[in-house]
């Protein structure tokens, strides 16, 4: 079986070396994908000078083009985002805005690529954030597999982070395993037989 590539975009607000629950869950997704002939890398977007905008290159030192090149070279994209006020992080929204530029590219750049999402937070909203992110990615042209999300949400008004919560093998871990199996399976299928409209 051909080895595919995945890019995990971590949309925490915190640059490295700060610990990040979103990055932890994103790395767990990448590890789970490795069981299905998928390799890849994790990119913490806050570590890069990504400009606001809706083009493929906003100039003036914009580091999005280098990240974009890695996305285009991969078959899977995983967005890992925290929840803030019930919403995806502002970094996540900026990433989605930058991906909007792919709608204007000829030939199309995204159809045939598979997307999934990983969400962490200490308030309700995981389903809402998942819906927002996956719909936006689908609008751009990504394909979404069944059960293409994993999440952990702490107690309402609590202060516990996923990175401090301990193993969650039967809940978040099980969802991560399912996400990886389904997303990798779909990506392998599309790699062998692309969509007719994308050729």
Residue 183 tokens read as: 């997303």
> Could you give the number of structural domains in the chain?
1
Q: Can you give the residue range of the structural domain that contains 90?
A: 4-198
Question: Tokens for 115?
Answer: 């997307």
Peptide bond into 107 cis (omega under 30): yes
pLDDT, one tens digit per residue, over 56-85 is: 999 999 999 999 999 999 999 999 999 999
**Per-residue pLDDT reduced to its tens digit, 13-22:** 999 999 999 9
Per-residue pLDDT tens digits for 72-124: 999 999 999 999 999 999 999 999 999 999 999 999 999 999 999 999 998 78
Helix H or strand E encompassing 75? none
* 85: CATH: 3.40.50.360
Q: Which residues of 24-49 are buried (b: 16+ CB within 10 A; e: fewer)?
A: bbbbbbbebbeebebebebbbbbeee
CA–CA separation, 115 vs 182, rounded Å?
11
Q: Distance (Å, rounded) from C-alpha 89 to C-alpha 87?
A: 6
């Amino acid at each position: 079986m051909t080895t595919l590539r995945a890019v995990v975009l971590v949309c925490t607000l915190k640059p490295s070396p700060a610990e990040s629950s979103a990055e932890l869950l994103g790395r767990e997704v990448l590890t789970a994908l490795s069981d299905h002939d998928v390799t890849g890398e994790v990119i913490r977007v806050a570590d890069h000078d990504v400009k606001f905008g809706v083009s493929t290159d906003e100039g003036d030192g914009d580091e999005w083009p280098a990240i974009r090149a890695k996305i285009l070279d991969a078959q899977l994209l995983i967005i890992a985002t925290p929840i803030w006020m019930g919403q995806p992080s502002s970094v996540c929204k900026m990433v989605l805005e930058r991906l909007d530029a792919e709608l204007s590219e000829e030939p199309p750049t995204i159809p045939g690529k598979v997307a999934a999402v990983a969400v962490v937070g200490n308030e309700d909203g995981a389903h809402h954030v998942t819906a927002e992110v996956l719909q936006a990615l689908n609008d751009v042209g990504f394909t979404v597999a069944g059960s293409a999300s994993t999440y952990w949400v702490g107690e309402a008004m609590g202060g516990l982070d996923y990175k401090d919560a301990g193993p969650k093998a039967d809940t978040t871990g099980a969802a991560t395993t399912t996400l990886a199996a389904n997303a990798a399976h779909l990506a392998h299928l599309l790699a062998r037989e692309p969509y007719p409209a994308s050729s």
